[in-house]
Structure 1
């Protein structure tokens, strides 16, 4: 329903979407520093005559399209922040900001949701209810979704459902991948300090060697997933950094370990840090050492609602074609704070492919990350169709 209209309005506004994407890309900003980005978004919403509120959770922007008929409220979300990467991609709109780059597609997410706004704003006479547009800061690190929720973005009017997209390098251009149930993991992090007693490498018996102890801790912690979590469930514990010592013949006092834990179930999410600390305590005490353990829960797991995913799946089929919407067989262990919206209302999150072929997949968070502008239209049209179909249901 209305697909021809959506396609025409989208095509007519394509150049505007591209210009916005290039503007965002040339002047990227990191989490909670998206002041110019937010101003560009606010200016576009004002140009369209869409009511908006700026400075939500510091730099977030919320727009509201009011349909001409009463009904529910659907939320469409885009993230705004860039990464601390110096761009090496060969594009005309290359980042003008040193050591800052949109290397994950957020420039396309913003341009896509603004494109959906252009389409839906032209279709207000056909809209039953409201469309709330969320432009969220700080997805990459701090997580801006919850602060925006805490400031009331789910109310006035109350949101009934939420949808979002992520451009995805692991999938082919033109494809949209959907999944009911678990989609992305909870990406928690930890920091461990092994506190030993340093000394000369020639007399290790006079020291409490934190390097040896750290090795034992790492090996034992790896057994949590392999031996204490059901093999039918997904979980990951990865150590990403080991820091300790500066000389070949000096045993250091301390070793610091930093890493991440990825889970889908709340039960495993609570169990793993407890099991980690039990191992830490046992190993360090047996060696006469001490420890510090800091565990930080980041975003919850992203769980897609079955009914909302079915709506989005059918809507995107109208835009990209029946054979281009793919059911994902497995979730990804990556994290995404869109999950907070899904904890409050039925929600669904989709991946939009951007790779030209399977042999040259686009790598996220890489200095040469790049993708074709035309993928903006998939987000814009697809989310517009999804919003219309949900509100009509």
Structure 2
């Protein structure tokens, strides 16, 4: 059973007060990381910064977990209980920063445009506070500092496959979102974010002179037909009640105006909310590719790689966490709302395939703006008060599941 009521309340209150007293430290860490962003699978200095933070603390630190710089920090409580995972990612994006902030990126062409600097900052301070109070914690907390969320195959899948999280009972993660003001927490039960697939199509024709197209097999014409044909997959092959997106993001056919090219290359993106839809879209793309080969006399090489599965928040866990946050007496947590399904993707989905849990959003809309720049925009910025909200909301979850409430 739980601890005596007086001790429990004292511990939880102490945790929240510790977080409040270290809000400025969260901001300082976030700004340091923001100034020194590193791309997926290249986060060597960021990983070292995280490892250095834990030096001298009474925890187990595993480094180079998975296929890159993943770090798993184990905090063992003073009493038996559940093992829960808390994840924060730390990679940046290949974006030139345009945000007007004094702590602008010092790495040209690389930017923390998705808030991962904030995720890491709040998680480091929360972890440190939990370490100091661990004798009052029932169970084990695993802090997952994850590399390479932005770039497939991502870091999550390999961390899961490493076995470092085999003992988890539950897993939780958050994401900063500028669509809502600070104090707003957004959730979605069940399927909440789309799965993602990357594809590349190389069409090999036979080049020639623009004046004699009958002596060539023009891959640009074949590619144009492919672009048009795949638009019918969503409109004519999917159930109208199923979500699917097929996008061509790149059509590399540049050449000379009077020359028929020998080959071209297209790249695209597919989004879906369940495996059946993914299979339908893949089948139709492959069928269209085969038809193009026959119709235009070209050969095609298709690369089709399912990157991240749809993100599924366990309904029972979601309902429990929503209830926890709604009952919170903390004044920084102002509003708990249900978000619509989001067609973006997240490799946190791999953790949720392994164990039940919840991935929820933290409002971070900058003060004084009517419409904020979205994640991945070169002018993306956050209201740094959201870092404390992130820490406190996850602390509420920890207190509940680790018997300190």
Q: Deviations for 1:137-163, whole angstroms, at most 9, x for unmatched residues?
A: 1110030011112222213xx110000
Q: Deviations for 1:324-376, whole angstroms, at most 9, x for unmatched residues?
A: 11111x21111110000000100110111112477322222222221122111
Equivalent in the alignment of 2:98: 88
C-alpha RMSD of matched pairs (Å):
1.9
Q: Could you tell me how far 1:47 is from its partner in structure 2?
A: 4.8
Compared CA separation, residues 220 and 358, structure 1 to 2 (3 A): farther
SS at match of 1:205: helix
For the pair 1:239 / 2:248, whether they are aligned, the reply is yes
- Which aligned pairs between 1:83-162 and structure 2 lie closer than 5 A? 83-142=93-152, 143-155=154-166, 158-162=167-171
SS at match of 2:389: helix
For the pair 1:61 / 2:110, whether they are aligned, the reply is no
Equivalent in the alignment of 1:374: 385
Give the length in aligned residue pairs: 390
SS at match of 2:344: coil
Q: Could you tell me how far 1:124 is from its partner in structure 2?
A: 2.0
For the pair 1:29 / 2:38, whether they are aligned, the reply is yes
How does the TM-score come out when normalised to structure 2?
0.91
How does the TM-score come out when normalised to structure 1?
0.94
Equivalent in the alignment of 2:273: 264
- Distance (whole Å) between structure 2 residues aligned to residue 383 and residue 153 of structure 1: 21
Equivalent in the alignment of 1:45: 54
Q: Deviations for 1:38-92, whole angstroms, at most 9, x for unmatched residues?
A: 1221222235433322222331111111111101100000111111222222222
Q: Deviations for 1:232-279, whole angstroms, at most 9, x for unmatched residues?
A: 010100000101131222221222110001011111112211210111
- Distance (whole Å) between structure 1 residues aligned to residue 18 and residue 117 of structure 2: 21
- Distance (whole Å) between structure 2 residues aligned to residue 165 and residue 370 of structure 1: 17
Q: Deviations for 1:161-217, whole angstroms, at most 9, x for unmatched residues?
A: 000001112333321110001111111100011222222222222222222221211
- Distance (whole Å) between structure 1 residues aligned to residue 319 and residue 271 of structure 2: 26
Compared CA separation, residues 16 and 358, structure 1 to 2 (3 A): closer
Between stretches 132-141 and 210-219, larger displacement belongs to 210-219
Asked whether the equivalents of residues 82 and 104 of structure 1 are also in contact (C-alpha less than 8 Å), the reply is yes
Equivalent in the alignment of 2:307: 298
Q: Could you tell me how far 1:321 is from its partner in structure 2?
A: 6.7
Q: Could you tell me how far 1:4 is from its partner in structure 2?
A: 3.5
SS at match of 1:164: strand
- Which aligned pairs between 1:239-388 and structure 2 lie closer than 5 A? 239-317=248-326, 318=328, 319=330, 324-328=335-339, 330-356=340-366, 359-388=370-399
SS at match of 2:402: helix
Compared CA separation, residues 373 and 358, structure 1 to 2 (3 A): closer
Equivalent in the alignment of 1:78: 88
